[in-house]
Chains A and B, each alone.
Chain A
C-alpha cells in the first residue's frame, strides 16, 4: 500500500510526462520523423562526366577555374603528401560511391542531434548537425567535409555547408574554393534518396551550380572505411609538382577528336548549360561515324 504523498508524487510525475509528451508531439512536424539512416546504393545511370581531361561542359565555371583545370595533372594526387587528402563534400553528388547514413540521438529527448554520412568525403563520417548550433567563425578551421547544419523544410532536409577546404568540382581538376558554400536538399521517398546540391562559389563559378543524384535503399551493401597510408607511387625529382603550363596540356582536345564536339563547347561556362546553346552547335557538330571508345582519366599521366 503506497502512501497518499507517494501517489500524489506519482500522479504529478505522470501529469508532467503527459504534458511534455503533448508539447513534443505538437511542436514536432511529422516530416522531422523521416528516417534517413541506412545503406544507400549508388545508381550510376547518369554519366559521371568530368572524368576526362578538358571536359568542363555543364559546369558554369569562369576563366580562372578553367585555367586551373587546364593546368591540372592527375598524378598530382599521387604525391605522397596529397594521397590522403579527400574530396570535398561536393563529391557526394559527383562521385560514384554508395552512402551510409547513421544518426546520433539525444538519449534524453530522443531527437536527432546529427546525421552522419559515410562514403563520400573525409576519413570520418560527415556530420550534419540538427541541434540548432551556429556555424563557427569564418576564420575557424576548414575541412574537406566542411561544417554542415540541417533543418527540415517540409519533407526535405535542407543542409547548409560552409568551411570547406579547397577541392575539386570534378575529377579533372575543376577547382572549388574555400569561399564555396553548399545548400543541399535531402529527400527520402520510400526506398529512394534524392540529394540535390546547389554550390555557390564566388571565386570559380559564374552562377550557382546545381547537381542531383539518386540512391536506392539496400541493406545488403556495405560502405567500408577508407584507410589511407601514403606510399611512393612514382619516382620523381625532389620537389617536382605535376602540372601543365598554360597552353601545354595535350589532352584538352581529346573529346573533340573522339566525339566531334567543338572544343569551345567543352570549355564550360554558364551559357553552355541552356538550350539555346544548341544553336551554336548545330552547324558544327556531326555525330562520329563510329562509336568512340573512352577511358577514364586514370589512363593518362
Chain B
C-alpha cells in the first residue's frame, strides 16, 4: 500500500465517519426533521381506556375533605404563602355553593388528585380527551397547535406533546402494529395547562389563581405482570399563592373496562 492509497483510505474513513455519525444522530432525534405524523399515529402507547386512582399517598387529604386549615402533615405540605393561608382559612363550602363555584375542587390543578377514574380517548387525530367520573370533568389535551385562549375554564387550555420520539418519527413502531404491542416498558408525554379558572389545590379551600400554570409529565410504566401504571408528575407555578413550584405525582392503574365508571357531580362538601 502506497502513501497515496493510504491517504485515500483515510479520506474514505473520514467520509464514512461523518455520514455514519450524521445518520446515527439524526436517528436519535437531533437531525433534520420531517413533517410529524398526527399524535394518535405517533403514540408509543395506547393510553386510551379506563384508569383508576390509586390513593397511595396523602390519603387523609384526598379520601375525605380535611378540616379547614389542615394544610400540613407531620412532614410536608403545600408551599402556600400568607395570602393563600388567609384565603384558605376563610373557606366556606356554603359560600361556594351559593356562588355556583362547587367545582373549585375539580379544576385542572387539583383534579388528578381527586380519587376517581379517568376515561381517555382520542377526539381526533391530535386531541386527547380525558374525562373524570369524579366531578364529571373533561380535560382536552391538544397535541397540535395551541387552542385559542378564551375565558378561563376549570380545566384551562392544555398543549401536549409526546416525549422520547424522534422528530417526525412514530416512536419506533413497526407499521401495522398497535402501540401497546410495541411499548417496551415506558412512555410519556408532556402537558402544559394555562388559562385556568381559579380553583383549589386541596378541597379544603387551598387556592390557586388564574395566574397558575401547570406542567405535567404523564408517565406510563408497564410491568411484567401486565399492569399498566400511570404516574402524573405535576408542577404548579402560581405567583399569587405559592412560595415555590408545587410538586405532586398521583398514580393510576389501568382497568380492563368501564364497568366501574361511576360519574358523580362536583360537590363542595364531599
Contacts and interface: CB of A to CB of B under 8 A. Distances in A.
Interface of A: 4, 7-8, 11, 14-15, 18, 21-22, 25-26, 29-31, 43-49, 51-52, 55, 57-59, 96, 153-156, 158, 183, 185, 187, 189, 192, 194, 196, 198, 208-214, 216, 255, 259, 261, 265, 272-278, 281-282, 285, 287-292, 294-297
A8 B64 contact: no
Nearest to A285: B64
A294 B70 CA distance: 10
B17 A274 contact: no
B126 interface: no
Contact of B63 (A153, A211, A277): A277
Given A31-B164, A210-B229, A276-B262, A49 B60 contact: yes
B29 interface: yes
B16 interface: yes
A91 B30 CA distance: 37
B116 A192 contact: no
A47 B74 contact: yes
19 contacts: A4-B3, A11-B10, A14-B10, A22-B24, A26-B20, A45-B76, A45-B77, A45-B247, A47-B58, A49-B57, A154-B184, A196-B229, A196-B249, A212-B251, A214-B249, A265-B63, A287-B64, A296-B74, A296-B75
Contacts of B268: none
B74 A198 contact: no
Given A8-B6, A11-B10, A274-B52, A47 B163 contact: no
Contacts of A156: 185-186, 188, 219, 221
B48 interface: no
B60 A294 contact: no
A5 B163 CA distance: 51
B180 interface: no
A291 B68 contact: yes
Chain A contact surface mostly: mixed
A275 B73 contact: no
B63 A57 contact: yes
A192 B235 contact: yes
B11 to A, nearest CB: 10
Contacts of B225: 208
B90 interface: no
Contacts of B134: 275
A49 B58 contact: yes
B219 A47 contact: no
B9 interface: yes
A57 to B, nearest CB: 4
Nearest to B222: A153
Given A26-B24, A155-B164, A46 B57 contact: yes
B260 A276 contact: yes
B105 to A, nearest CB: 14
